[in-house]
Amino acid sequence: MSAAVDFRTCPLCEATCGLRVELDGREVRSVRGDPDDVFSHGFICPKGASLAELHADPDRLTTPLVRRGGELVEAGWDEAFEVIEAGLAPILADGDRNAVGAYLGNPNAHTLDGAIHLRALLKGLGSRNIYSASSVDQLPKQIAVGLMFGAGLAVPIPDVDRTEHLLVLGANPLASNGSLLTAPDLRGRLRRLRERGGRLVVVDPRRSRTAELADEHHFIRPARDAHLLAAIGHTVLTEGLADPGRLAGLSSGLDTIAELLAPFSPEAVAPDCGIAAPEIRRMARELAAAPRAAVYARIGTTTQEFGTLASWLVDVLNVITGNLDRPGGAMFPLAAAGQSNAAGEPGRGRGVRLGRWSSRVRGLAESFGELPVACLAEEIETPGEGRIRALLTVAGNPVVSTPNAARMRAALSSLEFMVSIDCYVNETTSLADVILPVPSPLERSHYDLAFYQLSVRNVANFSPPALPLRDGMVEEWRTMLRLLGVVTGQGPDADTDAIDDLIALEAARRETVTAGSPATGMEPEAVLAKLGDRRGPERVLDLLLRCGPYGAGLNGGRGGGDEVALSLGALERAPHGIDLGPLQPRLPEMLRTPSGKIELCPEPITADLERLQASLGCTNGDMVLIGRRHLRSNNSWLHNLPHLVRGADRCTMHVSPADAARLGLDDGARARVASRAGAVEIPVEVTDAIMDGVISIPHGWGHDAEGNRLRVAAEHSGVNSNLLADETVVDPLSGNAVLNGIPVEVAPA
Ligand code: SF4
């Protein structure tokens, strides 16, 4: 068979790089960057290049597994669904929908099935016990922007390509390739920022790869970012440097910010941050003086005890310096499909609704339909009405990814029934009663519904499947709909086409009642009829594209002349994607707050400043633990690919030379690290790239769990840093787990 070339978007991280995949039948000959991709222009990282290994990985599941005699053994799809029906139906028959919970992993944000049909499955499940990786990641940012701008994905994105001053906290985009910031080749973009005379300032307890590239780097004590941001805001306001410009008229609460930040002078926070007050003042002055500047913060600032406050303060600074919503500042993307603040009446909305219910045991608040995963284990363990007796996991590995991993593993082991949709038998799915496999990334279509909403440039790119499904494989959305049949009492043989029609009809109905949509006023059935005979998530995507801000409409009549007229068909004819241009100012149109203003001082957030003030002068421990990322890791799930784990052991503990000498730790020897939650032993790496009083251990490792079927990963096991994370400590506003700034004791092993 001759070679074929497929152009597709990499589904592995937020950067959405274009790939050029050379295929020989079902074999992948090569994966390279697509030089013609309108967004990534040929950039590729080692993870993208490993797509061939992922496709060919012999440990990747291609058939369902069911537990028989204690062992997971291969089974047919019908048999697997009979076991699921037998496991779930009696629990649901007891009448408590909350008895079946769900945990959703990060990869769901990267698939159409996870974005569209999984939602329908969760709705059918009707449980309040929904958890996801969001609450060990970005949830505080979503809550902050939800309260400020009215939508949970209304995250201001640093306009990296045009800014002249970028202040980065707790983020390492050279390793992560961008997070809540979709931008291929961030190394190149940041290098160009400096080449045009711009300034890159990085604040991090580690001198990360991004910090090495920066003009200046400041060590900061973990979990003291909110203190620093408040002091920068204090300086800007007290020194008369604030210049919000047109944002003043678009914001409410601007007048009270100075009073709220009054306790946080640079002199007050300097001892906590470990940054001298004059340095903080200089950082503030330079930020305010830059003609175009942006503040950007990520995981080090969200997975910590002041996560929501820090996330809020980032955008307070962007507002008071006048940099929000202007080129070179922090801007709002306008995605082609599925963006809640691009549909309906512009400039006003009902805002976000948080805390509609609380967790049963600890009373942690719901947000965006989910409860914080820090309370999942106790919701399984604690008897009483509403206890989780069965769990569905979809592309999730909570045993590695969530706090107090040992307790989580024990809790999952105690479930009456567990079913997982996943591509591997890993630390979590090895505990399931049934595992349902998913197609290879090359056997499924791809469109980044979520990440184009966080993109540094407006872009749309659709990838049809490169290969037909292998024999015996089932599209993931059909698997989800069969599960939906089970949890809604239709049984395992429910008609998935009929359910799919209902999902598409509901999406069409929503468009018919959305102001400004080309479907407004039409009958939903008539809308569907316009979409032809597509099925599954692609049909809904076509609808969203047609009715979106660049849409072709439903009659193909919109967008004449030079205007872009998007539909799925149009994207199919553009294999390198369609560039929709640089970000444009979107205020006030993008606001969805009830007031129609930027809510600069949301009460739940400003009330928490008291806690921030109370922490002044309080240490969070003699030694504290933070995480770290690596370019060749992607949370817990790509360590079975030889290309990504070769080379020196990456799962080591970084410690400063002074701390190593003080604690008797030798480079290359092993250390014992203990916290309230647990203890691990890990090789020591002494480096001056970490500040005194801090150790760093990467997350996503610990692949030596019993039952794993990850042969390569097992040889590079590493240790699970979440054995140390304390599930009882959360950011109170979001319930997000505290994974940075964990007090630990460190000694030679
Ligand atoms: S940066 Fe992300 S999207 Fe780009 S090739 Fe690497 S993993 Fe794929």
Please report, as a single letter, which amino acid is at residue 257: I
* Overall average pLDDT of the 139-153 stretch: 98
Contact 204, 219 (CB under 8 A): yes
On whether residue 144 sits in a domain, the answer given is no
The answer on pLDDT for 1 being more than 60 is no
- pLDDT tens digits, residue range 156-167? 999 999 999 999
**Structural domain that includes position 719:** 621-748
CATH of the domain at 701: 2.40.40.20
Rounded to the nearest angstrom, the distance between the alpha carbon of 52 and the centre of ligand 1 is: 13
Sheet holding 216-218, edge to edge: 216-218, 199-203, 165-169, 293-297
DSSP classification of residue 110: G
pLDDT at 88: 98
Question: Quick one: 604 and 659 in the same domain?
Answer: no
Rounded to the nearest angstrom, the distance between the alpha carbon of 40 and the centre of ligand 1 is: 10
On whether residue 152 sits in a domain, the answer given is no
- pLDDT tens digits, residue range 534-560? 999 999 999 999 999 999 999 864 444
Question: Quick one: 203 and 275 in the same domain?
Answer: yes
* Dihedral, CA of residue 479, residue 482, residue 483 and residue 484, to nearest 10: 120
Show which of 544, 579, 612 is a domain's final residue.
612
* Overall average pLDDT of the 15-34 stretch: 97
Tell me how many domains the chain contains: 3
Rounded to the nearest angstrom, the distance between the alpha carbon of 680 and the centre of ligand 1 is: 31
* Dihedral, CA of residue 399, residue 401, residue 407 and residue 412, to nearest 10: -40
pLDDT at 273: 98
- pLDDT tens digits, residue range 492-516? 999 999 999 999 999 999 999 999 9
Question: Quick one: 300 and 396 in the same domain?
Answer: no
Report the distance separating Cα 308 and Cα 306, nearest Å: 6
Please report, as a single letter, which amino acid is at residue 518: P
On whether residue 383 sits in a domain, the answer given is yes
* Overall average pLDDT of the 81-93 stretch: 98
pLDDT at 559: 44
Please choose, from the candidates 451, 466, 472, 445, the residue with its C-alpha nearest in 3D space to the C-alpha of residue 535. 445
pLDDT at 562: 55
Question: Quick one: 716 and 653 in the same domain?
Answer: yes
Q: What is the mean pLDDT of the chain?
A: 96
Question: Quick one: 163 and 302 in the same domain?
Answer: yes
Report the distance separating Cα 171 and Cα 178, nearest Å: 8
CATH of the domain at 431: 3.40.50.740
Question: Quick one: 173 and 283 in the same domain?
Answer: yes
Secondary structure class of 390 (helix, strand, coil): strand
- pLDDT tens digits, residue range 598-616? 999 999 999 999 999 999 9
Question: Quick one: 294 and 417 in the same domain?
Answer: no
Question: Quick one: 249 and 319 in the same domain?
Answer: yes
CATH of the domain at 259: 3.40.228.10
On whether residue 358 sits in a domain, the answer given is no
Report the distance separating Cα 83 and Cα 60, nearest Å: 22
* Overall average pLDDT of the 353-370 stretch: 97
On whether residue 523 sits in a domain, the answer given is no
**Which residue's alpha carbon is at the smallest distance from atom 6 of ligand 1?**
45
The residue behind tokens 């009696």 is 90
Please choose, from the candidates 193, 160, 156, the residue with its C-alpha nearest in 3D space to the C-alpha of residue 177. 160
Rounded to the nearest angstrom, the distance between the alpha carbon of 133 and the centre of ligand 1 is: 20
The atom of ligand 1 lying closest to the CA of 177 is: 1
Rounded to the nearest angstrom, the distance between the alpha carbon of 18 and the centre of ligand 1 is: 8
- pLDDT tens digits, residue range 310-330? 999 999 999 999 999 999 999
Q: Report the percent of the chain where pLDDT is more than 70.
A: 99
* Overall average pLDDT of the 404-424 stretch: 98
Rounded to the nearest angstrom, the distance between the alpha carbon of 44 and the centre of ligand 1 is: 6
The answer on pLDDT for 634 being more than 60 is yes
* Overall average pLDDT of the 472-490 stretch: 98
Ligand 1 contact via 644 beta carbon (within 6 Å): no
Report residue 666's pLDDT band, with 50, 70 and 90 as the boundaries. Answer: very high
Report the residue among 43, 44, 634, 635 best suited for mutation to probe ligand 1: largest number of ligand atoms under 8 A from its CB.
44
Secondary structure class of 325 (helix, strand, coil): coil
**Which residue's alpha carbon is at the smallest distance from atom 4 of ligand 1?**
17
DSSP structure string for 142-193? HHHHHHHHSSTT---EE-TTT-SEEEEES--HHHHS-SSSB-S-HHHHHHHH
Show which of 436, 463, 487 is a domain's final residue.
436
Report the residue among 8, 13, 172, 448 best suited for mutation to probe ligand 1: largest number of ligand atoms under 8 A from its CB.
13
- pLDDT tens digits, residue range 230-282? 999 999 999 999 999 999 999 999 999 999 999 999 999 999 999 999 999 99
Report residue 355's pLDDT band, with 50, 70 and 90 as the boundaries. Answer: very high
* Overall average pLDDT of the 720-736 stretch: 98
Question: Quick one: 283 and 415 in the same domain?
Answer: no
pLDDT at 31: 98
The answer on pLDDT for 457 being more than 90 is yes
Contact 208, 202 (CB under 8 A): yes
Please choose, from the candidates 158, 172, 171, 148, the residue with its C-alpha nearest in 3D space to the C-alpha of residue 308. 148
Show which of 377, 401, 436 is a domain's final residue.
436
Q: Report the percent of the chain where pLDDT is more than 90.
A: 97
pLDDT at 3: 76
The answer on pLDDT for 154 being more than 70 is yes
On whether residue 659 sits in a domain, the answer given is yes
Report the distance separating Cα 481 and Cα 81, nearest Å: 12
pLDDT at 560: 44
The atom of ligand 1 lying closest to the CA of 13 is: 2
Rounded to the nearest angstrom, the distance between the alpha carbon of 20 and the centre of ligand 1 is: 12
CA torsion sign for 654, 657, 658, 659 is positive
Question: Quick one: 627 and 607 in the same domain?
Answer: no
- pLDDT tens digits, residue range 161-217? 999 999 999 999 999 999 999 999 999 999 999 999 999 999 999 999 999 999 999
On whether residue 631 sits in a domain, the answer given is yes
Ligand 1 contact via 641 beta carbon (within 6 Å): no
Question: Quick one: 707 and 666 in the same domain?
Answer: yes
Ligand 1 contact via 17 beta carbon (within 6 Å): yes
Please report, as a single letter, which amino acid is at residue 744: V
* Overall average pLDDT of the 722-727 stretch: 98
Report the distance separating Cα 436 and Cα 125, nearest Å: 18
- pLDDT tens digits, residue range 670-714? 999 999 999 999 999 999 999 999 999 999 999 999 999 999 999
Query: Is the pTM higher than 0.95?
Result: yes
The atom of ligand 1 lying closest to the CA of 40 is: 4
**How long a stretch of residues is the chain?**
749
Question: Quick one: 301 and 280 in the same domain?
Answer: yes
On whether residue 675 sits in a domain, the answer given is yes
pLDDT at 563: 66
